[in-house]
Amino acid sequence: MLRFELVTQLKRLRTLIALLCLAAVPVAAGLALASSAGHRNGRETGLFGASPYSALNHTMASLEFAGPLLLPIVVGLLAATIASADRDWGVLRYLYVAPVTRTRLLLAKVVTVEIATATAVGSVLAAGLIAGSVIYGWHPFHRIGAPSLGAVDTLVRVLVAVGYVLLCMSAMAAIAFTLGLLLPRGAEALAVAIIFVVVASFLNGQANLHVVAAVLPVHYWQSWTRLFELGPTGGLALGAIVQLATIGVCLAACWAILGRRDPAA
């Protein structure tokens, strides 16, 4: 069942195009800033300002750029498609007749979603690292207004950041996956997931609505950037708890949807 899901979903033309679009962003950004190699990116600060200094700088800046909207949209597309494809294709009823339990079906789809999510995040990282290596080369991780990071310190922070982003995108995937099971069509699930991200991002920018925004997982998606700034690097624990809680609630909802009614109806 897992092999079937991986082959049918991850090799689809739509999936490949979405991943290529993600990978194109770091490449295009690297080419655009090639003339600034080894120097600050204009008056930008943070990861964006330090992007032209090294391959890792460019990689993490690309991840920050894609993280708020582009990456969640692609992850949502993949997750919603995986959840609803069998129903859209009209084969879900046949899967129920075959010796495939709903638990096994759900488990296979959840694992496929997680692999697709990791592949999406990896596309940004790989493209950023390759483009950055060719254009900027390997140098110490530069920070604007702060000392450069050592090799070990850089590695630890990058690994923590990537793991945190993967957790955040897993929460996004869980939301889109649940919507894909709940709504009649995958396109509807994707549209609702995108609206959720846009609305949550809007609420996140409203100081008077902080209490509402703090409950939503989107509020914590960019917290990992503090790892590369001068100052406190905390706050990731709360963000991780919110992401895990979101994933748990969504998985429980998915179990209820598949177990108590026929999604093919």
pLDDT tens per residue, range 230-255 = 777 777 999 999 999 999 999 999 98
Tally of CB atoms within 10 A around 152? 8
| Cβ–Cβ < 8 Å for 135, 61 | no
* Predicted pLDDT at 63: 96
Three-class secondary structure of residue 176 per DSSP: helix
- Tokens matching residue 43: 């008056």
How far, in Å, CA of 52 to CA of 132, rounded? Answer: 8
Strands 141-143 and 146-149: antiparallel
What's the rounded mean pLDDT across residues 192-215?
Answer: 90
pLDDT tens per residue, range 128-170 = 999 999 999 999 999 998 889 999 999 999 999 999 999 999 9
Question: Facing residues of 146 across strands?
Answer: 143
Kindly report the three-state secondary structure assignment for every residue of 97-131.
Answer: HCCCCHHHHHHHHHHHHHHHHHHHHHHHHHHHHHH
Angstrom distances, CA of residue 87 to CA of 73, 204, 263: 21, 35, 7
* Predicted pLDDT at 92: 53
DSSP letters of 27-41?
Answer: HHHHHHTGGGTTS--
Tally of CB atoms within 10 A around 94? 12
